[in-house]
């Protein structure tokens, strides 16, 4: 069975500060990892994805994530947040086939204040 | 490309009534997924179709939930005899196919059972 853990339910940061959201995964097969963002009353939007290769992947809006097989982690980072980054962020795992689709973490709610 | 379209955006039903939720996947996408999102449980897989065929419905409550995909342009999720615990946001996603494909989510249908 595969699983995703996002240990931080809520994160509050000041505008302009850096942000790191943690994600740990468990997968018996090759992990395909995603970060999605959900703005209020909207669906999920893809920020970035990792399949293989360079463990640091770049995404939209200045986000990047680093994959670590040894740590079973896929942490998300942004150097300088904007108030519009306030949203819920989901770390998501695909086991490589369509069985049960994607496995979601519970999400981290990010609040950016001026 | 209008993305994945879900209708209605909001639905209020009385306890015991039937609710039908609609999803129009991205044209050309071969896989369609349904998820349920609640504050307590987070995002839960319900079911998925590939090339219109039901592949895995292991997440579906068996007695009152059913899903169909009569053609490649839409899928429906039907909940019979709705209960207050069915209140949730129901998200539909589609994918072009393959283990490393992106998943595109709709904005969801917010169902409230009163």
What are φ and ψ of residue A40, in 5° steps? -50, 130
Contact list, B93 vs chain A (CB under 8 Å): 44, 101
CATH topology of domain B13-97+106-113: Immunoglobulin-like (2.60.40)
The residue among B2, B49, B99 with the most chain A CBs within 10 A of its CB, best to mutate, is B99
Name the residue with higher pLDDT: B38 or A1. B38
Mapped to the 3 state alphabet, what secondary structure does chain A carry?
CCEEECCCCEEEEECCCCEEECCEEECCCCCEEEEEEECCCCCEEEEEEECCCCCEEECHHHEEEEEECCCCEEEEEECCCCHHHCEEEEEEEECCCCCCCEEECCCEEEEEEC
pLDDT of residue A29: 79
**Do residue B107 and residue A41 have CB atoms under 8 angstroms apart?**
yes
pLDDT value at position A34? 94
- One digit per residue, pLDDT tens: chain A, 114 residues? 789 999 999 999 999 999 999 999 998 878 889 999 999 888 899 999 998 899 999 999 999 999 999 999 999 999 999 999 999 999 999 865 555 568 899 999 999 998
Please report the pLDDT score of residue A28 as a whole number. 82
Give residue-wise pLDDT tens across range B57-86: 888 998 999 999 999 999 999 999 999 999
For chain A, the domain total comes to 1
Task: Indicate the pLDDT class of residue B98, thresholds 50, 70 and 90.
Answer: low
User: According to the model, what pLDDT value does residue A22 have?
Assistant: 98
Q: Scanning every residue of chain A, which has its alpha carbon at the shortest distance from the alpha carbon of B38? A: A106
Report the CATH number that the domain containing residue A109 is assigned in CATH.
2.60.40.10
For the segment B29-42, the average pLDDT, to the nearest whole number, is 92
Over 90: is that where the pLDDT of B20 sits? Answer: yes
Taking CA–CA distances from A107, the nearest residue in chain B reads B42
Residue A15 sits in which domain range? 3-113
What are the domain boundaries of chain B? 13-97+106-113
Q: Which residue of B has its CA nearest to A51?
A: B100
Q: Which residues from chain A sit within 8 angstroms of residue B42, using beta carbons?
A: 104-107
């Amino acid at each position: 069975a595969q699983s995703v853990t996002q240990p931080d339910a809520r994160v509050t940061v000041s505008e302009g500060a850096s942000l790191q959201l943690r994600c740990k995964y468990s997968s018996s097969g090759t992990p395909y990892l995603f970060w999605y963002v959900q703005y209020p009353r909207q669906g999920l939007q893809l920020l970035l994805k990792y399949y293989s290769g360079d463990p640091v992947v770049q995404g939209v809006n200045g986000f990047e994530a680093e994959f670590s097989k040894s740590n079973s982690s896929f942490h998300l980072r942004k150097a300088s947040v904007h108030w519009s980054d306030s949203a819920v962020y989901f770390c998501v795992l695909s086991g490589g086939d369509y069985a049960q689709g994607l496995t979601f973490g519970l999400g981290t709610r990010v609040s950016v204040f001026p | 490309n209008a993305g994945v379209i879900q209708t209605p955006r909001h639905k209020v039903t009385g306890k015991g009534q039937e609710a039908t939720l609609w999803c129009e996947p991205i044209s050309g996408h071969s896989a369609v997924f349904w998820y349920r999102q609640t504050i307590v449980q987070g995002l839960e897989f319900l079911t998925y179709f590939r090339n219109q065929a039901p592949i895995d419905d292991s997440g579906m409550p068996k007695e009152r939930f059913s899903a169909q995909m009569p053609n490649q342009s839409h899928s429906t999720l039907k909940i019979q005899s709705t209960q207050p615990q069915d209140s949730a946001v129901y998200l539909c996603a589609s994918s072009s196919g393959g283990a490393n494909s992106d998943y595109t989510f709709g904005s969801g249908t917010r169902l409230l059972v009163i």
